[in-house]
């Protein structure tokens, strides 16, 4: 299948990199003719298109521009499918600006560049299987039944890498404060995330936590300090705030 990307910035670029080995033919449209050579160098193997408008006729289009600019994107033709990665922008709003047989919304994250984006998606069920096959190329596509759920998935998984980086940085800072050298702290945190992700694939987080926490032990003391700092409450409120923002953007 050929996929046309409109927008190849942070997110579009991460997806293109993650799809490099997928076997799909990838084309990138840029509205800025001066960027053609830069994009050719950044995305070897992709066809770079520019011009007055992106030609969507009969094509599968990944729309990866900012929500604030999508209305000014110039396109011609009727796409086979438009798969948006824009936060908040609704299916009906996308349909108003982009003629397409099928319209879907998805919410990847920047781990797409590593082939590890857990990507929620929703929209026209007629193109559900094809869209999942595309999303699986750079991670895992996860169907959700409504746009309301997609906004929650946006807050969780689209924004999620930023929250995880806050945790990673804070843990390393704590270790450095207590005397560990920075390179060792950074390496241990990286291993901690990899190990925790692997454990999470076959267990409930609460069960894993209980298995680490022995009576009166170091973990129990550290965990109590996190609860005192209202870390759990902070994360719950972070998701709530991000969902509200996704709804506002729509
Ligand atoms: N960043 C993330 O972690 C993340 C995660 C999930 C979803 N998203 C979603 O991904 C979308 C893109 O975000 P981003 O962070 O990748 O933004 P970005 O880095 O600013 O990239 C936006 C891209 O859109 C292009 N563009 C701008 N105006 C255009 C126009 N009129 N016609 C055609 N192309 C145009 C830009 O090209 P020029 O630079 O040449 O103008 C650039 O390639 C957003 O809707 C966001 O909600 C982002």
Same domain, 167 and 101: no
* Chain segment 146-182, per-residue pLDDT in tens: 999 999 999 999 999 999 999 999 999 999 999 999 9
Domain with residue 192: its CATH number is 1.10.3730.10
Q: For residues 129-140, give the mean pLDDT.
A: 96
Confidence of residue 128 (pLDDT cuts 50, 70, 90): very high
Distance (angstroms) between ligand 1 centre and the Cα of 107 equals: 13
Half-sphere exposure of 36 (CA within 13 A, CB side): 7
Q: What is the pLDDT of residue 157?
A: 94
Same domain, 68 and 125: yes
Tally of structural domains, the chain:
2
Same domain, 191 and 242: yes
Using the predicted structure, report yes or no on whether residue 250 has a pLDDT greater than 80: no
Same domain, 9 and 41: yes
Q: How many residues does the chain have?
A: 250
* Chain segment 53-94, per-residue pLDDT in tens: 999 999 999 999 999 999 999 999 999 999 999 998 999 999
User: Which pair of tokens denotes residue 111?
Assistant: 């781990």
* Residues paired with residue 100 on neighbouring β-strands, in sequence order: 79
Element (H, E) at 217: none
Confidence of residue 1 (pLDDT cuts 50, 70, 90): confident
Same domain, 196 and 136: no
User: Which pair of tokens denotes residue 240?
Assistant: 């709530």
Range of the structural domain that residue 116 is part of: 2-144
Same domain, 112 and 80: yes
Distance (angstroms) between ligand 1 centre and the Cα of 84 equals: 11
36 belongs to a structural domain: yes
Q: What is the pLDDT of residue 36?
A: 96
Same domain, 21 and 111: yes
Distance (angstroms) between ligand 1 centre and the Cα of 203 equals: 36
Same domain, 107 and 165: no
152 belongs to a structural domain: no
To test the pocket of ligand 1, the residue of 10, 86, 93 to mutate (highest count of ligand atoms within 8 Å of its CB) is: 10
42 lines ligand 1 (CB under 6 A): no
Distance (angstroms) between ligand 1 centre and the Cα of 63 equals: 9
Same domain, 59 and 114: yes
Same domain, 181 and 59: no
Can you tell me the distance from the alpha carbon of 198 to that of 189, in angstroms, rounded to the nearest whole number?
14
Inter-residue contact 63 to 98 (CB < 8 Å): yes
Nearest Cα residue to atom 2 of ligand 1 = 11
Distance (angstroms) between ligand 1 centre and the Cα of 135 equals: 18
Domain with residue 139: its CATH number is 3.40.50.720
To test the pocket of ligand 1, the residue of 8, 11, 36, 119 to mutate (highest count of ligand atoms within 8 Å of its CB) is: 11
Same domain, 185 and 116: no
Same domain, 177 and 99: no
* Chain segment 12-68, per-residue pLDDT in tens: 999 999 998 888 999 999 999 999 999 999 999 999 999 999 999 999 999 999 999
Nearest Cα residue to atom 48 of ligand 1 = 11
pTM beyond 0.85: the answer is yes
């Amino acid at each position: 299948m050929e996929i046309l990307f409109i927008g190849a910035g942070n997110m579009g670029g991460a997806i293109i990199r993650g799809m490099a080995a997928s076997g799909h033919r990838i084309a990138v449209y840029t509205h800025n003719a001066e960027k053609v050579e830069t994009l050719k160098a950044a995305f070897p193997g992709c066809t770079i298109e520019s011009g007055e408008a992106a030609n969507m006729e009969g094509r599968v289009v990944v729309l990866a521009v900012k929500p604030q600019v999508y209305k000014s994107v110039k396109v011609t033709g009727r796409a086979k499918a438009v798969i948006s990665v824009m936060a908040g922008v609704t299916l009906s709003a996308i349909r108003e600006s982009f003629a397409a047989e099928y319209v879907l919304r998805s919410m990847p994250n920047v781990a797409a560049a590593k082939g590890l984006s857990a990507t929620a998606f929703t929209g026209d069920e007629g193109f559900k299987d094809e869209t999942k096959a595309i999303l699986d190329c750079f991670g895992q596509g996860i169907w959700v039944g409504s746009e309301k759920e997609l906004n929650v998935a946006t807050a969780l998984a689209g924004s999620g890498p930023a929250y995880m980086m806050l945790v990673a940085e804070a843990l390393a800072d704590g270790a450095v404060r207590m005397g560990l050298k920075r390179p060792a702290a950074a390496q241990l945190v990286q291993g901690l995330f990899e190990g925790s992700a692997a454990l999470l694939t076959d267990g409930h987080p609460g069960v894993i936590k209980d298995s680490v926490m022995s009576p009166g032990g170091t973990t129990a003391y550290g965990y109590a300090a996190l609860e005192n700092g209202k870390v759990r409450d902070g994360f719950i409120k972070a998701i709530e705030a991000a969902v509200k923002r996704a709804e506002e953007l729509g």
